[in-house]
Amino acid sequence: MPPKFDPTAISIVYLRAVGGEVGATSTLAPKIGPLGLSPKKVGDDIAKATGDWKGLKITCKLTIQNRQATVSVVPSASALIIKALKEPPRDRKKVKNIKHSGDITFDEVVSIARTMRPRSMARELSGTVKEMLGTAQSVGCTIDGQHPHDVIDAINSGEMEVPDS
């Protein structure tokens, strides 16, 4: 027989959900059912917490203690960049393969890099900024009207300065 479940132990569950939508309870049940939580209630909490990320796939962190789940959003770099483009929310079921051809400023990229700094593998902020520029390139947007890789080359050559924290 398995050991008795300790309700005061803190358990953390990460899962991907679409912002602002109640996910399928069938995907939540195997993850949080054994912890004694109702998947429907947690699904509603996730939808409430991810309201301002409408239509974007986002990672959520569920911290569970005493059979209470608190939802916090852990945004990815691409989600932050797409949010910075300020595109109107789209219907996932109808609009597919969208091109994010917008333009964001270099200052927005630096602020996104500051948000992502704890999770980055780079030693300095300039390395994290380059990571965000690489993500911007794969998303398909431009930085101040320039291709993201041109901005990376400018940072490498020293033409462009990344402000320190």
C-alpha span between 130 and 151 (Å, rounded): 9
| Interval 72-94 mean pLDDT | 72
Does this model's pTM top 0.95? My answer is no
95 or 112, higher pLDDT: 112
pLDDT above 70: residue 22: yes
pLDDT above 60: residue 1: no
Share of the chain above pLDDT 90, in %: 0
120 or 98, higher pLDDT: 120
| Interval 100-126 mean pLDDT | 78
Separation in Å, CA 128 to CA 104, 150, 154: 17, 16, 15
